[in-house]
Amino acid sequence: MATKTTPKDRSNLVPFSSRLETGRALAEDVWSIFNAANLPADCINLGQGYMNFAPPKWVTEAAEEALNSVAANHYSHPKGRMRLRQAIKKVYGPQLNRDLDVESEILVTSGANEGQYSVFTAFLEPGDEVICFEPFFDQYLPSITFNGGNPVYVPLHPPANASGKFSSDEWKIDADELRRAITSRTKMIIVNTPHNPVGKVFTRKELETIAALAEEFNLLVMADEVYDCLVFDGKEHVRIATLPGMWDRTVTVGSAGKSFAATGWRVGWLIGPEYIIKPTLAATTRIVFCSNSPLQEAAAAGLEQVQERKFFEQQRAEYAERRTIIAKAFDDLGLPYTMPEGTYFVLLDISKVKFPEDYPFPKSVLGRGRDFRACWFIAIEIGVSSIPVSEFYCEEHANIGEVYGRFSFCKDVDTLHQAAERLQKLKQYIV
């Protein structure tokens, strides 16, 4: 029998799992680099996508009430609190054209992220492939690889030679490229609409193309629709689960964080047929057991009242105003940018922003895409932070993302006006 001896160097006694490398989990991620703590104190944070305003008062009051009760301070059912499942049924049932079963078709999770992780745990066998459109929400990668899967990347294509403003709708999928990415190991496809960070709201036709491939190759569809209540200009948000036959193979993902300006609450949900929800419930029960109880009550109070308060309509109008402020700043600058049809992100083309190559960049941004240096330079010299978009691409396609910085407009209008004014200083660095 082999005996193991304890090494002399005690600083790293037991090696950690290689899955951390595969999942890019050890690399310093973009959120740590472009963190407020690393940037000047007065830098305006349009980087990470969280709000600088509170959730609605009638929702936080429900949270307080829950904290002051006894039951809501204890474990909930792993499926989620009944009040929240009922509220999800009330809001989502009509949109999915279904009388949702709160026992078997709805699962409350610890944020959308943990829900997605649980789906991967429930469905992936080692070596299974998951198709992600690029740019992709960066958590997908570790969530897939930690569960033994392999992400396969299919880029969305921006228009060639764009100048000035162009719609997020002009970022296109290439159906042949998508088909070519499918192999005998493909198990799942993630469709994020409205899309972070492009702001694209997939059209019915595009979703039909994806649905036809999912049907042909028997794929599970993860419909990441966490920005479903942020679609502008009357554009139709089509839920892929409502296309013919698609309910049977789709899990729809939602988030209280995005819906109620409460990203730190970590409350999300999954909706789908029983055969998807049941194994996912088994996985989530072993991962977190249940989601935090008081904030489930608050999210329930939120969803119960959105219709009578016309909350999502009002919130959408507020975000539309914020989008106008940031878009005008970019119009005035004269740099190309993507006007989002949904979400709270704008991609600015920063390829013409010139910075000195010997600028005192920190080590963390050197050796990364040009966009890391450009975004760092803008944060320090202009005082507005953003996120370099190559982070949301695999290495092979990083050059597509390197052109862009992602600016989040989930901030109050005063902050956005101030950011807009500062951004005009960028003119002197445009070549």
Ligand X SMILES: Cc1ncc(COP(=O)(O)O)c(C=O)c1O
Residue (of 337, 361, 360, 367) closest to 349 by Cα position? 337
Q: Which two tokens stand for residue 102?
A: 């709160």
The bridge status of strand 150-155 relative to strand 129-134 is: parallel
CB closer to ligand X, 255 vs 296: 255
263 counts as binding ligand X under rule CB under 6 A? yes
Candidates 36-44, 109-117, 152-160, 326-334; binding stretch for ligand X (CB under 6 A): 109-117
49 counts as binding ligand X under rule CB under 6 A? yes
The one among 76, 118, 255, 284 contacting ligand X by CB under 6 A: 255
CB closer to ligand X, 117 vs 337: 117
Rounded to whole angstroms, the Cα distance separating 192 from 392 reads 13
Number of residues lying near ligand X (CB under 6 A): 13
Q: Which residue is nearest to ligand X (CB)?
A: 111
Least Å from the CB of residue 266 to ligand X? 7
* Residue 270, helix vs strand vs coil: strand
Candidates 16-24, 38-46, 105-113, 374-382; binding stretch for ligand X (CB under 6 A): 105-113
H or E, element range at 271: strand 268-271
CB 311 within 8 A of CB 56: yes
The one among 257, 272, 342, 401 contacting ligand X by CB under 6 A: 257
**Farthest CA pair distance, the chain:** 73
CB closer to ligand X, 109 vs 390: 109
CB closer to ligand X, 224 vs 336: 224
CB closer to ligand X, 113 vs 390: 113
196 counts as binding ligand X under rule CB under 6 A? yes
Segment 278 to 297, residues that bind ligand X, using CB under 6 A: none
The alpha carbon of 161 is separated from its chain's Cα centroid by a whole number of angstroms, namely 27
Q: Number of C-alpha atoms within 13 angstroms, CB side, residue 120? A: 28
CB 108 within 8 A of CB 80: yes
Least Å from the CB of residue 6 to ligand X? 40
Segment 111 to 140, residues that bind ligand X, using CB under 6 A: 111-113, 137
The one among 143, 192, 280, 385 contacting ligand X by CB under 6 A: 192
Rounded to whole angstroms, the Cα distance separating 118 from 270 reads 10
Q: Which two tokens stand for residue 246?
A: 């698609």
Rounded to whole angstroms, the Cα distance separating 214 from 221 reads 7
386 counts as binding ligand X under rule CB under 6 A? no
CB closer to ligand X, 186 vs 255: 255
Least Å from the CB of residue 256 to ligand X? 7
H or E, element range at 16: none
Least Å from the CB of residue 410 to ligand X? 10
Candidates 57-65, 106-114, 270-278, 365-373; binding stretch for ligand X (CB under 6 A): 106-114
The one among 151, 268, 294, 302 contacting ligand X by CB under 6 A: 268
CB 190 within 8 A of CB 222: yes
Least Å from the CB of residue 247 to ligand X? 21
Rounded to whole angstroms, the Cα distance separating 183 from 136 reads 20
From the CB of residue 307, how many other CB atoms can be counted at a distance below 10 Å?
13
Residues 6+ apart with CB under 8 A from 29: 138, 391
The one among 226, 299, 410, 420 contacting ligand X by CB under 6 A: 226
23 counts as binding ligand X under rule CB under 6 A? no
Rounded to whole angstroms, the Cα distance separating 205 from 391 reads 29
Which residues in this chain contact ligand X in the complex, by CB under 6 A?
Answer: 49, 111-113, 137, 192, 196, 224, 226, 255, 257, 263, 268
